[in-house]
Amino acid sequence: MQNTATPTHCPYCALQCGMNLTPAPDGPAGAVALTERADFPVNRGALCGKGRTAPQVLSSRVRLTSPLVRSEGRLVPATWDEAMDRISGALGSVRAEHGADALGVFGGGGLTNEKAYALGKFARIVLGTSQIDYNGRFCMSSAAAAGIKAFGVDRGLPFPLEDIPRTGCVVLVGSNPAETMPPALRYFTELRENGGTLIVVDPRRTRTAEQADLHLAPRPGTDLALALGLLHLVVAEGRVDEEYVRERTAGWEEARAAAMAHWPEYVERITGVSVPELREAVRMFCAPDTAMVLTARGPEQQSKGTDTVGAWINLCLATGRAGRPLSGYGCLTGQGNGQGGREHGQKADQLPGYRKLDDPAARRHVAEVWGVDPDSLPGPGRSAYELLDALGRDVKALLLMGSNPVVSAPRAAHVEERLRSLDFLAVADVVLSETAALADVVLPVTQWAEETGTTTNLEGRVLLRRQAITPPEGVRSDLQVLHELAARLGAREGLEKKFPTDPEEVFEELRRASAGGVADYSGITYRRLVEENGVFWPCPAPERAPGADGGAADAAGDADDGEDAALDAALPDDDPARELPDPHPGTPRLFLDRFATPDGRARFVPVAHRPSAEEPDDDYPVLLTTGRVVSQYQSGAQTRRVAELNRAAPGPFVELHPRLAARLGAAEGDLLAVESRRGRAVAPARITTAIRPDTVFMPFHWPGEGRANILTNPALDPTSRMPEFKVCAVRVETVTG
């Protein structure tokens, strides 16, 4: 690589902040200089501590540089041939003895679109298994399910971040961007500077809540009742936008009746949010001409997460705050490529382009691109937690890429036990995570600055993350891994075409596979991504462009419509064999003319409050909620290897209110044991009035005795299959001796 600055993107959250990297000619392998990239519109040069220190994980002293195989109970260095032979031999023998569905594949929300696409294709046409899902299921699957029900399509934000400061009011539900994605906080600061108002809904008074005009602190697990109570008041106070409801929605009467069963005093008893606060929230939300509701993991990671998000969407629809400029509902996606990762085949029920696996037309289209019989494609498989729970039982061998479920999954001790019970586990990762340490084979693979590939950020903006440095000797890309495994498992015919190792070649096939789907990338090329600093999907190829009118319904329509033209559209833009019309500009704002439903109308979905899967009782009288801190990321597999971040956030803690601390006889820093029906975690006390007296909070970034997810409840949302990370019953005790 030349010693010139390469514009690229951060490897962490879904902002995908822009940055410049320059190899350090006199530094150790992997050393780079990082400078701000002010031309990228999302972060405008700003970076959080995680992004600023991300290059430290490129060091060969930190990352894996050699395959490892288990020998006499220990992981020892091995050659690539030895490691790949071990994996292919184990997968082949398990399939021969137990069938294809005895093989599992578990992916990650940090994989590029190309790697996510290739992994889904590999699982379905090489392994022949239906058992594939990814950790993005734990991210925004409830918001996705609710968005599809209401709008006909799911995209994290149906508008760019730049719209937030220009709206009149934002209701931020269960999100703490001051710590989870700090460069985004400026949008909310600018909102208030422009005269808009910010309402934050969170059981903790977080750094974000401290900046709000109104902070509502509901009891964990009651966000659904809160949204219904607000909608009740909208109706009772005559604030419904009747014309909008009549012209652009369907199902209002049923949703209205459901909301009217949640009168303010009833909601106050459930949530702990007072009636005056409820009324003030409605006044603030309805006073300006424009407003938004943005949700995150708080309301989504519940066993009723889909209904909860649906209730907030109903509030937007009833007040005419969706599908209009500077108004709408959106989800703040968490993982770096959580959006793109599910659009192109990692989820158990989806094919590329956000097509449904059980849709015959979708199967025909993708099978034609892949050159296989549609009937050979397996059907939908298990969701993420259900797949992990099946390990060692129905699923005998697992290929895992870019995830660390030993720390990140709910009921984590059980998940660790299931991983240990496998006949065979192979992990491809950058570092030796807690999950990789259990593997039979570990493969060192390239990471963000060592490879080129696309990601899709929380706005639906497709980005090109460019290679800035040469990977260490002994490291290969995930695309090379899948290519070589496919060859060893018998897929040698047309291998170079079916599993190319060049990411741009993979993306060209992804364009064809997505053409005509909901997430249509067929009009996007690497060249456009460089020239335009990202392109918003849907972006159909020129021959099938529905027009740049801001509507998404045509681009999200029938998968068979114009498929032949769409397949032809993947010719290079500069191919002399044809002249193309002007490219589709992409769709930064969805739903301005119609929603992506058959009749173009948004759907109200009637919902009602119900308790969490696990409520406090005499044995477990306290509520636990979990989340993140500013200096660590997800399972911490990478950030815990950065000294600066560890100094800022050295380990887990239990946040609790002074009244609860007094009852326990606990002082600041005392060790507390938090115990649920699934396990016990120990961490020092952090006493603060910023949390409700009936609730404790633990961050989930660490393994060991402070592993928060050993406590969490795997109860699943019936639609999204999201586990209930955000609320469970615990007891808290001081640790003596």
Query: Residues 645, 650, 652, 654: what is their CA dihedral angle, to the nearest 10 degrees?
Result: -110
Q: What is the pLDDT of residue 251?
A: 98
Cα 103 from Cα 651, distance rounded (Å) = 36
Cα 441 from Cα 245, distance rounded (Å) = 57
For 529, the token pair is: 């991504």
Q: Are 534 and 42 in contact (CB under 8 A)?
A: no
Cα 317 from Cα 323, distance rounded (Å) = 9
Q: What is the pLDDT of residue 580?
A: 60
What percentage of residues in the chain have a pLDDT greater than 90?
A: 89
Q: What is the pLDDT of residue 232?
A: 98
SS3 for 118-147 is: HHHHHHHHHHCCCCEEECCHHHHHHHHHHH
pLDDT digits (tens, 9 = 90+) for 487-501: 999 887 777 788 999
Q: Which pLDDT band, with edges at 50, 70 and 90, does 576 fall under?
A: very low
Q: What is the pLDDT of residue 369?
A: 96
What percentage of residues in the chain have a pLDDT greater than 70?
A: 94
Q: What is the pLDDT of residue 566?
A: 44
pLDDT digits (tens, 9 = 90+) for 471-489: 999 999 999 999 999 999 9
Contacts with 9 (C-beta within 8 Å, 6 or more apart), sequence order: 16, 17, 18, 19, 40, 448, 455, 463, 465
Cα within 13 Å of Cα(491), Cβ side: 25
For 648, the token pair is: 């800022």
Q: Cα–Cα–Cα angle for 174, 268, 285, nearest 5°?
A: 55
Q: What is the pLDDT of residue 575?
A: 52
Domain boundaries, the chain: 6-58, 66-139+335-444+477-494, 157-332, 622-734
Please choose, from the candidates 521, 594, 582, the residue with its C-alpha nearest in 3D space to the C-alpha of residue 552: 594
- Written as one letter, the residue type at 395 is V
Q: Which pLDDT band, with edges at 50, 70 and 90, does 548 fall under?
A: very low
For 683, the token pair is: 């961490």
Cα 460 from Cα 527, distance rounded (Å) = 18
Query: Residues 607, 613, 616, 618: what is their CA dihedral angle, to the nearest 10 degrees?
Result: 130
Q: Which long-range contacts does 465-469 make (Cβ < 8 Å, 24+ apart)?
A: 465/8, 465/9, 465/16, 465/112, 466/6, 466/7, 466/8, 467/1, 467/6, 467/8, 468/1, 468/6, 468/8, 468/21, 468/22, 468/23, 468/32, 469/1, 469/21, 469/23, 469/30, 469/32, 469/58
Q: What is the pLDDT of residue 574?
A: 54
Topology match between the domains 66-139+335-444+477-494 and 157-332: no
Cα 726 from Cα 523, distance rounded (Å) = 39
Give the mean pLDDT of the chain.
93
Cα 167 from Cα 171, distance rounded (Å) = 11
Cα 481 from Cα 429, distance rounded (Å) = 11
Contacts with 663 (C-beta within 8 Å, 6 or more apart), sequence order: none
640: pLDDT strictly greater than 80: yes
Alpha carbon 713 to its chain's center? 19
Task: Phi first, then psi: give them for residue 535, nearest 5 degrees.
Answer: -135, 135
720: pLDDT strictly greater than 90: yes
Instruction: Give the DSSP per-residue string, 355-400.
Output: EETT-HHHHHHHHHHHTS-GGGS------HHHHHHTBTTTB-EEEE
To which residue do tokens 């997430």 refer?
A: 519
Alpha carbon 387 to its chain's center? 18
Q: Which pLDDT band, with edges at 50, 70 and 90, does 250 fall under?
A: very high
Asked if the 157-332 domain carries CATH number 3.40.190.10, the reply is no
Q: Cα–Cα–Cα angle for 440, 446, 451, nearest 5°?
A: 155
Q: What is the pLDDT of residue 27?
A: 64
208: pLDDT strictly greater than 50: yes
Q: What is the pLDDT of residue 559?
A: 34
SS3 category, 169: strand
DSSP H helices in 272-359: 275-286, 297-300, 305-318, 338-343
- CATH code for the structural domain at 622-734: 2.40.40.20
pLDDT digits (tens, 9 = 90+) for 512-544: 999 999 999 999 999 999 999 999 999 999 875
Which residues are bridge partners to 23 per DSSP? Answer: 32
33: pLDDT strictly greater than 80: yes
**580 or 661, which is more confident?**
661
To which residue do tokens 């006909």 refer?
A: 152
577: pLDDT strictly greater than 50: no
Q: Cα–Cα–Cα angle for 199, 550, 537, nearest 5°?
A: 85
Which residues are bridge partners to 329 per DSSP? Answer: 293
319: pLDDT strictly greater than 50: yes
To which residue do tokens 């064999």 refer?
A: 577
Cα 63 from Cα 549, distance rounded (Å) = 46
C-alpha dist (Å) from residue 220 to 46, 172, 584, 624, 697: 32, 15, 44, 8, 10
Q: If you count DSSP H runs as helices and E runs as strands, how many of each does the chain have, helices first?
A: 25, 30
Instruction: Give the DSSP per-residue string, 22-65.
Output: EE-TTS-TT-EEEEE-TTSTTTTT---HHHHHGGGGGSTTTS--
Average pLDDT over residues 152-162: 95
Residue 389 — left, alpha, or beta (φ > 0 → left; ψ -120 to 50 → alpha)? alpha
Sign of the dihedral defined by the CA atoms of residues 274, 278, 281, 283, in that order: negative
CATH top-level class for 66-139+335-444+477-494?
Answer: alpha beta
16-20, 26-30, 401-405: the lowest-pLDDT one? 26-30
SS3 category, 20: strand
- Written as one letter, the residue type at 622 is V
Cα 456 from Cα 467, distance rounded (Å) = 17
pLDDT digits (tens, 9 = 90+) for 658-705: 999 999 999 999 999 999 999 999 999 999 999 999 999 999 999 999
Average pLDDT over residues 322-350: 92
What would be the CATH architecture of the domain defined by 6-58?
A: Single Sheet (2.20)
**264 or 548, which is more confident?**
264
**326 or 561, which is more confident?**
326
SS3 category, 514: helix
Task: Phi first, then psi: give them for residue 674, nearest 5 degrees.
Answer: -110, 120
Q: Are 256 and 313 in contact (CB under 8 A)?
A: no
Q: Hey, how many other C-beta atoms are within 10 angstroms of the C-beta on 579?
A: 7
Contacts with 94 (C-beta within 8 Å, 6 or more apart), sequence order: 102, 103, 396, 397, 423, 424
- Written as one letter, the residue type at 638 is Q
Average pLDDT over residues 101-121: 97
Q: Which pLDDT band, with edges at 50, 70 and 90, does 24 fall under?
A: confident
723: pLDDT strictly greater than 50: yes
Cα 128 from Cα 370, distance rounded (Å) = 13
pLDDT digits (tens, 9 = 90+) for 287-298: 999 999 999 999
Which residues are bridge partners to 71 per DSSP? Answer: 74
Average pLDDT over residues 91-104: 98
Cα 596 from Cα 151, distance rounded (Å) = 6
